[in-house]
Chain A
Amino acid sequence: MRELTFTAAAREALTEEMARDASIFVVGEGIGPRGGNFTTTQGLYELYGPMRLRDTPISERGFVGMCTGAAMAGARPVVDFMFVDFILDAMGELINQTAKMQYMSSGRIQMPIVLRGCIGIGKSAATHHSGSYYSIFANVPGLRVVVPTTPYDAKGLFKTAIRSDDPVIFLEHKLLLNNKGPVPEEEYLIPFGQANVARVGKDVTVVALAAMVPQALSAADELANEGVAVEVIDPRTVSPLDTDTILQSVHKTGRLLIVDETFMPCGIGAEIAAQVSDRGFDDLDAPIKRLNGAFAPTPYSPSLEAALVPDAQSIAQAIRDLLAE
């Protein structure tokens, strides 16, 4: 099968969907002739022109509110934030308006809007360009939150996001953007709420998201040499969250480690741990463990940055500790 980068796969999804549906338009800073800071819209301006590839002023609140209105009037906007940190300027619009519109209108108005941007710690982006925030978004009723890992997932989930009538936050980890992987030529969609079992194992379950998935997989390789079979689950969407697949895995392994680059307090790991305790208590052979990025803003210097985030080594150690519980 042919291989594409994460960004190219997501871009192919956007290109195909824009050809299919003329009500889709993209807004963002530098997404027009420039093709997007991360080449998310490269080549599309030439195809679809300024009305559908709209370069905006630096008015994050403004264009989120505007696209909410456009979605209310039957268009299907895609807001490209470049760095999703910039969405914080639009939180009022996003949470009070976009997310609540379907409910407030008792389902008569739909909100088909995709809000995308790159997330994650890496490449010395420092603290205004390194946030992920998915736990915050997942706490909001009305928002769907997608965190793909592979190019295959990026394309299939982007298509589902675009066709969804709900607002979808589509988060692209900056360390994954250039990763290549197989992407079929023919059309496919990946439904929300379906975790990917990235590796099958019987001894311990590791749940990881985005850039933590490849790290967890290398940790699993390392532990395979020690005779430990690690199962790695990538939920792919944080809202909805596929708790069933995690529970099935814990039923098999009895041990759960949640690896999350973002903060521990009130994070997605806490949510997964609580749900597994609720529904899978009798399957647990050890306390549920979490390994999180440090509870701090993101520093610039590579040595500080690396110290902040779990990697294959720290994950492997956390798994060993969990097995000793």
Chain B
Amino acid sequence: MELSSEQLLSLYRVMLIIRRSEEQLARSYAQGLIHGACHTYVGEEAVATGVCAHLRSSDMVFSTHRGHGHALAKGVHPRALIAELFGRETGVSHGRGGSMHLFAPEVGMMGTSGIVGPCILQAAGAAYAFKLKGTDNVGVAFFGDGASNNGAFHEGLNMAAAWDLPAVFVCENNLYATEIAYASVTRNPEVATKAAAYGMPGVAVDGNDVLAVYQAAGEAITRARAGKGPTLIECKTYRTRSHAEGMRDAGYRTVEEIEAWKQRDPITMFRKKLLEDEEAGEAELQAIETEVQTTVVESAQFAQNSPYPDGATATANVFSESTKT
């Protein structure tokens, strides 16, 4: 798939929005502006960016506890993300969710989740609905290596393959399930090879190379839209911050390992490539960087100025209107 300069710069811009937003959230966490958990996506930006570049707002993304990047790449504004983590009414879930329950169905962001696994089943289910209704939309699940050891992975991939559902399963293999080394809890740490057990294609790509992710996702999504069934994509990547903000990031991985992955930073690598390939000049990239920085700072300001939700609304939307009595 050939990309225009405009498309390449768009990928760069989305990755940068994720990075700057996460850095802003990390700072805000330290300042006490975030009330609950905050799992950042720093280091994994190429995955969400490369996959979501192919998606329409009518395609549906189901995500994990580490889902800020997926929400931003799917079209959620940083303002709505940051306000949500600040617990404000203007947040993407009106302060009901926080980091792990980001919902923006209007752009096809069908939720991040506090539970590992269900997103796989829900993406298969959305795919079932698309097939039932005869649309060419796709359901996409993002999940970590840890989810591949969960029953939902087996049940979801099995059913999606059995019924040729238009789903794409994107495993972000960052080597650790929370703080347990993936290789220590499975005899087969090559996630992509597990696809064979379900009779579906499995692809492993460098998750820090946005173009590689873009390429693999494009093929899988085209295949799904054409009614040819699901694909498992394993993106080998790494988070360079701790599991969650404020947590001790030691005892399970080494400083050297972290440093080595930082040398393979997806944004730095892509920036270098854009300049080398003469797809963009330094001034052009700096303009994007300034614009993104301004957007994120303005978003944090917006979030901080937003009101908290009214306590009287805390029980709204437990049920729909249809069975109220």
Contacts and interface: CB of A to CB of B under 8 A. Distances in A.
Contact of A66 (B105, B122, B130): B122
A174 to B, nearest CB: 26
A93 B120 CA distance: 12
A144 B324 CA distance: 10
Interface in B120-149: 120-133, 137, 139
A107 to B, nearest CB: 4
Nearest to A75: B129
Contacts of B325: 191-194, 240, 242
Interface string A149-170: 0000000000010011110100
Contacts, number: 172
A191 B325 CA distance: 8
A115 to B, nearest CB: 14
B93 A105 contact: yes
A129 to B, nearest CB: 22
A69 B132 contact: no
A97 interface: yes
A144 B115 contact: no
A75 B323 contact: no
A109 B110 contact: yes
A190 B27 CA distance: 55
B306 to A, nearest CB: 15
A317 interface: no
Contacts of A51: 131-132
Contacts of B126: 69-70, 72-73
Nearest to A99: B318
Interface stretch (B3-11, B158-166, B186-194): B158-166
A104 B103 contact: yes
Contacts of B122: 65-66, 68-69, 72, 97
Contacts of A108: 103, 105-106
Contacts of A52: 132
Interface string A88-102: 000011001100011
Given A65-B125, A66-B156, A70-B125, A103 B132 contact: no
A142 B159 CA distance: 27
Nearest to A52: B132
Interface in B87-104: 93-94, 96-97, 101, 103
Contacts of B162: 57
The residue among A62, A108, A110 with the most chain B CB atoms within 10 A of its own CB is A62
A51 B163 CA distance: 9
A102 B132 contact: no
Contacts of B111: 101, 104-105, 109
A61 interface: yes
Interface residues of A, number: 54
Interface in A104-132: 104-111
Interface size class for chain B?
Answer: 35 or more
Contact of A165 (B125, B131, B151, B321): B321
B161 to A, nearest CB: 11
Nearest to B151: A61
B179 to A, nearest CB: 22
Contacts of B118: 65, 68, 92-93, 96-97
A251 interface: no
A159 to B, nearest CB: 12
B133 A166 contact: no
B128 A192 contact: no
B317 interface: yes
Interface of B: 60, 62, 93-94, 96-97, 101, 103, 105-106, 110-111, 113-115, 117-118, 120-133, 137, 139, 151-152, 154-156, 158-159, 162-163, 316-323, 325
Interface of A: 23, 25, 51-52, 54, 56-57, 59, 61-75, 77, 92-93, 96-97, 101-111, 141-142, 144, 160, 163-166, 168, 191-194, 240, 242
Given A73-B110, A106-B96, A165-B321, 20 more contacts: A51-B131, A51-B132, A54-B163, A57-B158, A59-B155, A62-B155, A65-B125, A68-B122, A69-B62, A72-B60, A77-B125, A92-B115, A96-B118, A105-B103, A106-B94, A106-B103, A108-B103, A164-B323, A168-B323, A240-B325
8 contacts: A23-B129, A57-B159, A63-B155, A65-B121, A96-B118, A106-B96, A109-B103, A142-B318
